[in-house]
Amino acid sequence: MKALVAFYSHEGQNTVDFAVTQIKKGHTRMVAEKIAELTGSDILRIVPKEEYPFDYEACCARAKAEYEASARPEISIPLETLDAYDTIFIGFPIWYRSYPRVIATFVERFDFTGKKVLPFCTNEEGGFGMADLELSAAVKSKGGNVELGLSVRGKNAENCTDAVVRWLRMNRI
Ligand SMILES: Cc1cc2nc3c(=O)[nH]c(=O)nc-3n(C[C@H](O)[C@H](O)[C@H](O)COP(=O)(O)O)c2cc1C
């Protein structure tokens, strides 16, 4: 298996137990790094051309507007194709019960024909919400196949090793 862990994580103010907090490191980044460490995968942050605001409320305002407009914000990613990989882990925080629109930009950018896609997310509550269904449809339309995902509560991201190991096993990785 040659795998890529591609993720977006908001680096700034976020919520932990519904309180706005300055977190040390993005929750999704913590899970992404654990997956990469355990599987020996390459890892890549999906970088918005214009980073989302540090401030929580300002970030929410932009995220909501983009979601409602089905926006496809520009991203910087140092890859032309996914040809080097057979398995792609795609990670994101849940925003408004879905994924940040930069993830939509990422999926639409690449050909996923024959690729196995494993989604993972972090959130406050409610798991994937609509995100796994939406991602399945988006990846399928680009030729890939989405398998069982992993949802981690943000406050548990720092101690996600057991959950990640179990999930990899379930996916026979
Ligand atoms: C704009 C925005 C919208 C959010 N919407 C949801 C939501 O609908 N459901 C949820 O459980 N958490 C929601 N959250 C909380 C994040 O999903 C959660 O804090 C996540 O762990 C953040 O990951 P990150 O540090 O990698 O960005 C939202 C956070 C932000 C900033």
pLDDT at 17: 87
Residue identified by tokens 């137990």 is 17
Q: List all residues 6 or more positions away from 72 whose beta carbon is below 8 Å from its beta carbon.
A: 101, 104, 105, 108
Domain ranges of the chain: 3-170
Structure tokens, 172: 């026979």
CATH class of 3-170: alpha beta
Q: Is the CB of 97 under 6 A from ligand 1?
A: yes
pLDDT at 22: 87
Going from the Cα of 83 to the center of ligand 1, the distance in angstroms, rounded, reads 31
Average pLDDT over residues 121-149: 97
Q: Is the CB of 12 under 6 A from ligand 1?
A: no
Separation CA 173–CA 168 (nearest Å): 5
Q: List, in sequence order, every beta strand (DSSP E) within the chain.
A: 3-7, 13-16, 19-22, 42-45, 47-48, 75-76, 87-93, 116-123, 145-146, 150-153
**152-167 per-position pLDDT tens digit:** 999 999 999 999 999 9
**25-63 per-position pLDDT tens digit:** 999 999 999 999 999 999 999 999 999 999 999 999 999
pLDDT at 86: 97
Residue type, 84: A
Separation CA 16–CA 10 (nearest Å): 13
Residue type, 72: R
Average pLDDT over residues 101-122: 98
Going from the Cα of 51 to the center of ligand 1, the distance in angstroms, rounded, reads 16
Give the global pTM: 0.98
Separation CA 100–CA 75 (nearest Å): 12
